Amino acid sequence: MGIIETLWQILTSPPVFIPLIFPGFVTLLIVLLLLIWFERKLTAKVQMRYGPLYIFKAFGGIIQMVADLLKYLFSEFIVPKDADKKVFILAPILFFTFTLLPLVAIPISSTFTATQSDLTLILVPAIGTLAPLMVILIGWSSNNKYSFIGSLREGYIMMTYEIPMFISVLAMALTYNSLNLIEIANKQTGLWGIVLNPLAAITFFGTLLMTTARFPFDISEAESEIVVGPYTEYSGIVFVLCLGAPYVKLYVLSLFYSIVFLGGWNPLFWPLNTNPILPGLALLVKGAIIMALAVFMRTIYPRYRLDQALRLGWHKLFVLSILSVILSLVLFGLGVL
């Protein structure tokens, strides 16, 4: 009895529950399954075709990704002869890890959080910044000219979106006068962040699309131009890691977005602090809306050229983010919050 009780205690304590079960690893796998299925099904419906259909036909092919994952698990992954072998295998693993790591800093209720820190607002994007460096390593280690072009493109794009992302986060920190995600979510009982500082919300959403390589910023993996970009030489399970990592980043940043801009776990406008399950679900639903919006872009937009995306980032997003900081200072001066 004692052992089971102790195990249950450990399992439901925040430092273990959040990274492992919710919104951690288990939930991540389920969300990834559903997200990719949703993207393929939605794209197919818009494009007048069926999408995933045959696996588990009653539910419209919903476990298609399980079938794909099993196929990749059992297929041999080939390491090219001239590639840098250690980096070739390590870089995708680190890529996946760095996109997954910020989950430890995300709280799911005002009392249930794994990291007791006052800096969680900065912690989440900062850990995520290490991921694109791994993409550059992936492209470099493949020893293939198309991978090289892809990783160069990723390097350029990374410079462009990191700065507006951090400046818009800074604007929100100025608005709420705090860097702690729990305090930020609790302060949004009256007005949500998206209404308080819409400029920061738009800028952050734009950089979210750029960082997770959603259309129209699909540039580093542009299929018709440079095969698959940095991931050209990959096959088998490391390919799944490479392609799954942007989706993981999308999930983490969507949760982050819903806490900072959409009121976090407070559904509608009143606080809900009862237990960790209900607020967590509310957070997940809001995150799901952002994720669905981001993957829907695939059906609408073609792909930008690299220099056009860079110009967009520097001329428009950067300027917007500076303006959002000014807006925050004005709001702060007026004593809105």
Partner 1 sequence: MRLVAEVDGDIIIAFEPNIGYVHRAVEKIAETKTYLQIIPLVERPMLPDTASANLGYILALEKLLDVEIPQRAQYLRMLLCEMSRIHSHLYGLGIFGNMIGSSTMFEWAFADREPFLELTQQWTGARLTASFMVPGGVRRDLPPDFTGKVLKAVAYMEQRLKDYDKIFVNNPVTIARLNGVGVIKKSEAARLGIVGPNLRASGVAYDTRKVEPYCAYGDVDFELVVREEGDCYARLLVRREEMKQSIKLIRQILDKLPSGPFFAEKYAKLINPKMKALMDQSGILRFPAVFSSLKPAKGDAISRVEAGRGELFYYIVSDGTAQPYRFRMVTPSFKNVIAFKSALLGARLADVPSVYGSLDYFPPEADR
274 binds partner 1 (CB under 8 A): no
Positive/negative CA dihedral, 155, 160, 161, 164: positive
Question: Binding segment for partner 1 among 24-32, 43-51, 63-71, 185-193 (CB under 8 A)?
Answer: 43-51
Nearer to partner 1 (CB atom), residue 37 or residue 192:
37
**Which of 14, 218, 220, 234 is close enough to bind partner 1 by CB under 8 A?**
218
User: Segment 125-154, which members bind partner 1 (CB under 8 A)?
Assistant: 149
**Which of 47, 111, 116, 189 is close enough to bind partner 1 by CB under 8 A?**
47
Question: With CB under 8 A, what is the number of residues at the site for partner 1?
Answer: 24
Task: Measure the N-to-C terminal CA separation of the chain; round to a whole number of Å.
Answer: 50
Radius of gyration (C-alpha) of the chain in whole angstroms: 21
**Which of 5, 307, 333, 334 is close enough to bind partner 1 by CB under 8 A?**
307
Helices 318-334, 145-176: crossing angle, 10 deg rounding = 10
304 binds partner 1 (CB under 8 A): yes
- DSSP letter for each residue of 238-295: HHHHHHHHHHHHHHHHHHHHHHHTS-TT--TTS---S-SHHHHHHHHHHHHHHHHHHH
| Residue 267, both tokens | 């559904």
Query: In the bound complex, what is the minimum distance in angstroms from residue 111's beta carbon to partner 1?
Result: 45
Query: Which residue bears the tokens 């940095």?
Result: 230
Query: In the bound complex, what is the minimum distance in angstroms from residue 148's beta carbon to partner 1?
Result: 12
**Which of 60, 216, 236, 271 is close enough to bind partner 1 by CB under 8 A?**
216
28 binds partner 1 (CB under 8 A): no
* d(C-alpha 157, C-alpha 151), whole Å: 10
**Which of 127, 134, 222, 320 is close enough to bind partner 1 by CB under 8 A?**
222
Q: What three-state secondary structure class fits 203?
A: helix
Binding site residues, partner 1, CB under 8 A: 43, 46-49, 149, 215-216, 218, 222-225, 298-308
